[in-house]
């Protein structure tokens, strides 16, 4: 059951940080986090980086406040563009990861180690031959690739989304969207194709695609023109006709206010990333906004944000108390592109270069 939206008195605070807290000048390209995703329960968190590593974290309820502990790291070639958890069917976890060309289905599970607890070596004191005895020791977390879905995209894959039926998923590149069955790795169906006959006439590309959370026949995809299109797979095999089209207004978008819409929670709060490593959380029920800053300043002040009126913009612990000052000190080299909202409570995971910040 999802929690109700918090009141305007709710205070967000910094909870945890993973990664090197040193000088950002020493960060390598391979260490930059490129994907963040909670699972459906919120007890597990996955991150991927540009070096092709996926790191899993498991929630620890034994401490005074719930925290996430390192669980498992697995290697994948090249940059991780996106990670999606599959709904849990048994004791194992399954998740999809994709780089520019290849999608993989991973199985993550606990495996008990067996060791020989009794030797079979014959000595003078041994009356007869004995069989070795095995005993279970500590369990370890293992990760193995179950499926590899390759050679289906001519262009770079930008997003994947698992269907609510837990049997299919879609993958999108710049010009096409394909529909897959999780159990079939060598066949997919093209359901959206915007490639023109003459590539010189190309005016837009697909930037992202996502299934409806409940209706397995509906999915949405966005384009570089600022449009969001809702498609229904029941209408035709190739979804050229869109049920609804949403388009950005012609008014110039303020780049410094919103870099990317990252997640929605409880149907009432919207989280966006911005420059200067700022995260904005909007609550339309309370007409309020929370601004969090995912950088080293949170270690000095445990409160990294405050709830405030929509017309004002204040970040606790900084000198930017008005819009003009905020624009003057905006750091365009730092921006939040990847974050995930906990599915049941007010907890977010934010990726800032090579650091993962947890706010509650």
pLDDT digit string, tens, across residues 180-197? 999 999 999 999 999 999
pTM across the whole model: 0.72
Average pLDDT of the chain to the nearest whole number: 79
Whether the per-residue pLDDT at 63 is higher than 90: the answer is: no
The two tokens of residue 91 are 């004791």
In a domain, 120, yes or no: no
Residue 7 lies in a domain: no
With residue 58 as reference, give the H or E element that holds it.
Answer: strand 53-60
> Looking at residue 283, what is its pLDDT?
77
Task: State the residue for tokens 């947890």.
Answer: 358
Q: Is residue 89, in this structure, part of any structural domain at all?
A: yes
Domain assignment present for residue 127? The answer is: no
Residue 214 lies in a domain: yes
> Residues 306-343: pLDDT tens digits?
444 433 343 333 333 444 455 556 788 888 889 999 98
In a domain, 307, yes or no: no
In a domain, 248, yes or no: yes
What's the confidence (pLDDT) of residue 195?
Answer: 92
**pLDDT, tens digit (0-9, with 9 covering 90-100), for 232-275:** 999 888 887 766 776 655 544 444 444 455 555 655 677 888 88
18-37 confidence digits (pLDDT tens): 887 666 667 888 899 999 99
Report the CATH number at residue 18. Answer: 2.130.10.10
pLDDT of 150 higher than 80: yes
- 50 located within any domain: yes
Residue 21: which domain range?
Answer: 14-62+75-113+137-301+329-359
Structural domain count of the chain: 1
Q: What is the DSSP string of 258-325?
A: -SEEEEEETTTEEEEE-BTTEEEEEETTTTEEEEEE-SGGGGT-S----EEETT----TTSS--SHHH
Task: Report the alpha-carbon distance of residue 245 to residue 253 in Å, rounded.
Answer: 19
pLDDT tens by residue, 107-143? 998 887 777 766 656 566 656 666 777 777 777 788 8
Cα separation, 128 vs 290, whole angstroms: 74
């Amino acid at each position: 059951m999802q929690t109700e939206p918090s009141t305007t008195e709710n205070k967000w605070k910094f909870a945890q940080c993973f990664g090197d807290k040193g000088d950002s000048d020493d960060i390598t390209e391979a260490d930059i986090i490129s994907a963040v995703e909670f699972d459906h329960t919120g007890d597990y968190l996955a991150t991927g980086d540009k070096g092709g590593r996926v790191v899993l974290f498991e929630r620890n309820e034994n401490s005074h406040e719930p925290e996430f502990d390192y669980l498992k790291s697995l290697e994948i070639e090249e940059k991780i563009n996106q990670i999606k958890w599959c709904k849990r069917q048994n004791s194992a976890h399954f998740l999809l990861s994709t780089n520019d060309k290849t999608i993989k289905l991973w199985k993550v599970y606990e495996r008990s180690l067996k060791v020989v607890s009794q030797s079979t070596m014959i000595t003078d004191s041994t009356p007869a031959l004995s069989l070795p005895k095995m005993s279970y020791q500590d369990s370890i977390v293992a990760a193995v690739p179950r499926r590899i879905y390759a050679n289906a995209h001519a262009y770079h894959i930008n997003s994947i989304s698992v269907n609510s039926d837990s049997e299919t998923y879609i993958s999108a590149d710049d010009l096409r969207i394909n529909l897959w069955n999780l159990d079939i790795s060598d066949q997919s169906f093209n359901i959206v194709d915007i490639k023109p006959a003459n590539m010189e006439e190309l005016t837009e590309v697909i930037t992202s695609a996502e299934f409806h959370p409940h209706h397995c026949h509906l999915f949405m995809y966005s384009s570089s023109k600022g449009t969001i299109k809702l498609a229904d797979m029941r209408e035709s095999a190739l979804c050229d006709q869109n049920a609804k089209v949403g388009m950005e207004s012609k008014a110039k978008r303020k780049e410094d206010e919103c870099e990317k819409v990252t997640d929605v929670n409880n149907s009432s709060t919207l989280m966006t990333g911005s420059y200067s490593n700022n995260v904005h959380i909007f609550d339309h029920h309370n007409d309020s906004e929370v601004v969090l800053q995912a950088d080293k300043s949170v270690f000095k002040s445990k409160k990294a944000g405050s709830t405030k009126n929509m017309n004002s913009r204040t970040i606790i612990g900084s000198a930017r108390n008005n819009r003009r000052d905020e624009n003057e000190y905006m750091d365009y080299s730092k921006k939040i592109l990847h974050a995930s909202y906990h599915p049941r409570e007010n907890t977010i995971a934010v990726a800032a270069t090579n650091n993962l910040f947890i706010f509650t």
